[in-house]
Amino acid sequence: MRKTARPEIADQQWAIIAPVGHCAYRRTVEDTVVGERSMGDARYDYDAVVYGFFDRFLKGEDSPALAKLPKVTYFTMGANKWQTSDTWPPAGAQSMTFYLSSGGKANTLNGDGVLAAAPPPANSPDSFTYDPAKPVTSYGGNVCCTGTAITAGAFDQRKMEERPDILVYTSEPFKEGIELSGPIVPTLYVSSDAKDTDFTVKVLDVYPDGRAYNLDESIQRMRYRDGYDKPPVWMAPKQVYKVTFQPLTTSNYFAAGHRLRIEVSSSNFPRFDRNLNTGGNNYDETEGVVAHNVVHHSKQYPSQIAVTVVKR
């Protein structure tokens, strides 16, 4: 926003990134639990910032609160602390890439999917069946405005990872603590026997005892893989397509012994509308098509997740 705003207001932009659900920033306490995960003491004087903003921009008065407010204030989960920066991502942030790999059996938590430092030399694709009549149900996340259908927050995802239509890829335990603060960009090489389908990605922090807390998630409808401002494009059987998801973002500290994980599937319902896989409108259809979807990973098809690392 600061890069694209008019010069006279380019420096009048601030961001505060809290570890809570939508509109829950005033419910932080000494032990703030979001879903099932404790964020520690996440309290912050939001009122002072809001009233300071009103003083400056509605009343035209000086605002000591805004005068001393850093451009970016963000909460790092895992480390459970507030941090500040002049930019997002923070200065000095670097990209680190993990590549998807398996022996072709990454289905479920008990599969052989891994996140590695290099792509595998040969392609051993992972496949799963997506039936829109039996979608993967939403479980936590950064949801908004779904009533009581979904509870926002971080939840242990292991019970979801028992489903065979979820591919699971996990890194080795980190030998040293590592902070991920900034964009996360997943890129997958996929194919399907359906004319159109969806692919989903979920990013997680896996604790040494196995708990797997969701950090962020995204979805891509394949008909819009060339852009939402372009005409829809359909999939051809056995054709492999590259799809880069819109960047996810987080600030999370992975302590030594923790692992990075991603899940890949084709539904996250009801947070995201189901794709009936027909190539039709979905909203006016009553019958779906079962899709057999595949994720490829090799030097030719380097499916990956790029994360943003900040060294302290």
- Residue 1 covered by a domain: no
The predicted model gives 145-154 an average pLDDT of 88
Asked whether residue 193 carries a pLDDT value surpassing 90, the answer given is yes
Assigned domain for 99 exists: yes
Domain edge (last residue) among 63, 85, 107 = 85
Domain count, the chain: 2
Statement: residue 142 has pLDDT above 90: no
Residues 65 and 152 in one domain: no
Q: What is the mean pLDDT of residues 141-167?
A: 93
CB proximity list for 35: less than 8 A, separation 6 or greater: 140, 151, 152, 153, 154, 155, 213
Single residue among 66, 85, 104 that ends a domain in this structure: 85
Q: Dump the DSSP string for 177-233.
A: -EEEEEEEEEEEEEEESSSS-EEEEEEEEE-TTS-EEEEEEEEEEGGGTT-TTS---
Identify whether residues 44 and 150 lie together within a single domain: no
Q: What is the CATH number of the domain that holds 164?
A: 2.60.120.260
Q: Are residues 114 and 59 in the same domain?
A: no
**Distance between CA 95 and CA 53 in Å, rounded?**
34
Residue 271 lies in a domain: yes
The pLDDT tens digits of the residues spanning 298-308 come to 999 999 999 99
User: Which domain range does residue 17 map to?
Assistant: 7-85
**Same domain, yes or no: 104 and 227:** yes
Residues 174 and 294 in one domain: yes
Do 108 and 81 share a domain, yes or no? no
pLDDT of residue 22: 87
Cα dihedral across residues 148, 153, 155, 159: positive or negative: positive
pLDDT digits (tens, 9 = 90+) for 214-270: 999 999 999 999 999 999 999 999 999 999 999 899 999 999 999 999 999 999 999
Burial of 282-302, coded b for 16+ CB within 10 Å and e otherwise, reads beeeeebbebebbbbbbeebb
In the chain, % of residues over pLDDT 70: 100
Question: DSSP code of 173?
Answer: P
Question: From CA 156, how far away is CA 205, in angstroms rounded?
Answer: 10
Residue 71 lies in a domain: yes
- Greatest alpha-carbon pair distance for the chain in Å reads 64
- Do 23 and 116 lie in one domain? The reply is no
Tokens 């200065």 belong to residue: 91
pLDDT at 263: 98
Domain-ending residue, one of 37, 55, 85: 85
* Residue 72 shares a structural domain with residue 143: no
Residue of 276, 263, 287 lying closest to 198 (CA atoms): 276
Same domain, 193 and 46: no
Distance CA 146, CA 19 (A): 19
Residue 29: count other Cβ atoms within 10 Å of its Cβ.
Answer: 10
pLDDT of 2 over the 90 cut: no
Q: What is the mean pLDDT of residues 111-130?
A: 97
Look at residue 2 and tell me if it is in a domain: no
Length of the chain: 312
Residues 133 and 192 placed together within one structural domain of the fold? yes
